[in-house]
Structure 1
């Protein structure tokens, strides 16, 4: 009887892990889909308006979830400060994100932001967090630096300063600050996103008074605009983020975190099919190197090497 119970429990765990493995693929697809969808949004509305609507809807969706799941609304003074800082950085990220899409391809923008952000995070943690830097992590940083040269299409110093590069390097750094702040705040992901989205939305409220043609742009928006807006706000932020953090809980940090490597690849593929953007060789090389850098910095474990050796025997 005990053996049967153990087999039943093991089968249930295996089915749960299989379900969340598929769910994580879906979540990464939604995150990647937000890049071409955001490019489409910027063709029909001002970035300030898109950001305000996005953060407002995210906040409105997360608020009832916190009530349903009985997540505390309480914040300490330190957490309040961290949430405000994260809200400002999140608003800055969104501003750079939407403005920058006017200067280049959504696919390359997605690769730059999603790959450079964790590399920046590792670098800041090593420089200011007193973290020991292993040989493997040094290799990861070197790969990250080389990938940046390819992704940013750097031929000389002036090419580094073109608007596209400035916007998306800035966006990657702003998102790094949001991520690092979230780790220090020690809040439930939904609670953190709820407050950060509220603060970010408040920062864009003045556009309702200062902006022009808001009503006309919304009246002219077509069904594609609203479908993309649903993806960029509810599906990519609320749904995908919830799946990701639950997947991390079920699958573990390292296995769950490895799914992040799919986002830049999906971003390139989706931008190709939705926007007819064909990535050049430098972008593909930079993407591969950046994925290798992220793997070396945060995902690699000695067991992976043992598994590879066993596979080659």
Structure 2
């Protein structure tokens, strides 16, 4: 492995940690401030931080009419995702919420593409969808039909759906990741702006927060969105789509581990089984390659 590939392999591990740590950090934020205010501040700060990066990397600010439409649609779904994300964390564990959202979102995205995109569905992809549905039963702790509709499940099923739409729209927009993030964050911030008129104001709302809040806020906004996203897309460029994309499977695992250490959340057996099944489903849907079978044969058979 070349030095550049080794560097980006380590960098991708770091990026996945930053994405995963945003879950326990967000849980901490919701204990001290209103979810709407957190989302507004997060999007505003992300937008301000990405602007100079676009100048440094000479990324054009221009948008075509179709790109403008896609950015607005993505901004709406991104705002909805954040609303469900922060509000939902008040109902349950950050670790399980992280696993549900990060695993069900790509599964929902694949399902939407197959149903509405007229895409041919292979046997492997059908198996992936079945695994995904079974994983949902474990992750959502579904014992009876009524248990599916508890607030925690509804918020994070909605969050996973909203993020799957953001991902699908981002592919249609055909924009540089930083540029897409910049405009989507701006649109999302605008949608949360009315909170300032309805709430008691930023200064008054944040009067009682402590230093832990600000550390977590910087992690959730700057490190998780700006830094981790930049590393991820550069890593995919260097390592390739399949190798780079495979690092996403680490996020739900890291989310569980970090929530255990930071919030003392202990995942139950159902969550662990659901996490394993969901990761297998994502692999079957998006990351499987025939070369992986050849590699396993060489490893175990020789």
State TM-score, norm by structure 2. Answer: 0.99
1:210 aligns with: 198
CA deviation vs aligned residue, 1:212-232 (integer Å, no higher than 9, x gap): 264233121111000000000
Find the counterpart in structure 2 of residue 5 from structure 1. Answer: none
Counterpart among 50, 61, 65 of residue 73 in structure 1: 61
- The residue aligned with 2:294 is 306
* CA distances 1:138-167 after superposition (whole Å, capped 9, x unpaired): 000000000000000001110000000000
Q: 1:117-196 maps to which residues of 2 (within 5 A)?
A: 117-196=105-184
Give the aligned CA root-mean-square deviation in angstroms.
Answer: 0.8
Q: The residue matched to 1:141 in structure 2 has which SS?
A: helix
The residue number in structure 1 matching 2:23 is 35
Q: CA separation in 1, counterparts of 2:139 and 2:250?
A: 17
3-state secondary structure, aligned to 1:103: coil
- The equivalent of 1:9 in structure 2 is none
Rg (Cα) greater in structure: 1
For this pair of structures, how many residues does the alignment match? 301
Deviation string, structure 1 residues 162-208 (Cα, Å, up to 9, x no partner): 00000000000000000000000000000000000000000011111
TM normalised by structure 1 equals 0.95
From 270, 278, 282, give the equivalent of 1:290.
278
What is the alpha-carbon distance in structure 1 between the residues aligned to residue 192 and residue 295 of structure 2?
Answer: 50
Alignment partners' CA distance in 1, 2:257 and 2:251 = 10
Task: Report the counterpart of residue 258 of structure 1 in structure 2.
Answer: 246
SS at match of 1:102: coil
Which residue in the other structure is 1:238 paired with? Answer: 226
Q: CA offset at residue 129 of structure 1?
A: 1.0
Q: Using the alignment, how far apart are the partners of 2:229 and 2:209 within structure 1?
A: 27
Q: Which consecutive unaligned segments of at least 5 residues does structure 1 have?
A: 1-12
The residue that corresponds to 2:210 in the other structure is 222
Paired residue for 2:70? Answer: 82
